Structure 1
């Protein structure tokens, strides 16, 4: 009986883990840049985020994150793995602008989103 219970628990864990696997695609776009596209685990067609890695496997350039409906949630920038520039966070009725320099937070600004 104990062996059956252990087997059921093991099968449940393996099934739950396999359903949570995230699909990732990599595409070399130049000698020093690789584009990465991450898909939501529960929907292999919906992009969760996409951006670039440099030849040292560091985050590089613009990265964009999406919600499950395909709306942009974050636009971020990296240089050699460090947060840089103005990151934009989209949230319901507001937009937050967060400025980074060499991985350090420089400033935060929030604006109301007005839709006509």
Structure 2
């Protein structure tokens, strides 16, 4: 019985870790690389995209999507740190968080009105 449980756990681990996320990198210029990450379950649907600077740190705008292609987060980084306005899209509201060097400066919540 114990051996059977160990085999099941091992098969589960192999299945979980065998899936690799598809990532495309495109050099924009000498200082920036655009990265596009795709969902593991459907590697034709973009999960998030944004930029890395020449040091390999997150830099500029990053956008996260759900499986239907709707934006869930618009984020901004400066040399690997959260900096600027981040917009979080939820069902019926938008949360707007302003960061400065990874520190929260301001938080707002707005109702999302769809006509």
Matched, 1:18 2:5: no
Give the alignment's TM-score, normalised by structure 1.
0.88
Residue-pair matches, total: 115
CA distance in 2, matches of 1:104, 1:48: 25
CA distance in 2, matches of 1:29, 1:16: 33
SS in 2 for 1:14: helix
Counterpart position of 1:36: 35
Matched, 1:57 2:56: yes
Structure 1, residues 16-49: CA drift from partner, whole Å, max 9, x if none? Answer: 3213x21111111100100111111100011110
Give the alignment's TM-score, normalised by structure 2.
0.89
Counterpart position of 2:65: 66
CA distance in 2, matches of 1:111, 1:63: 21
SS in 2 for 1:65: strand
RMSD of equivalent CA atoms: 1.9
Structure 1 unaligned blocks of 5 or more: none
Structure 2 unaligned blocks of 5 or more: none
Distance of aligned partners of 1:14 and 1:93 in 2 relative to their CA distance in 1, 3 Å threshold: same
CA distance in 2, matches of 1:57, 1:90: 27
Structure 1, residues 61-89: CA drift from partner, whole Å, max 9, x if none? Answer: 00000001000000000110111111000
SS in 2 for 1:43: coil
Give 1:59-98 correspondences, 5 Å limit.
Answer: 59-98=58-97
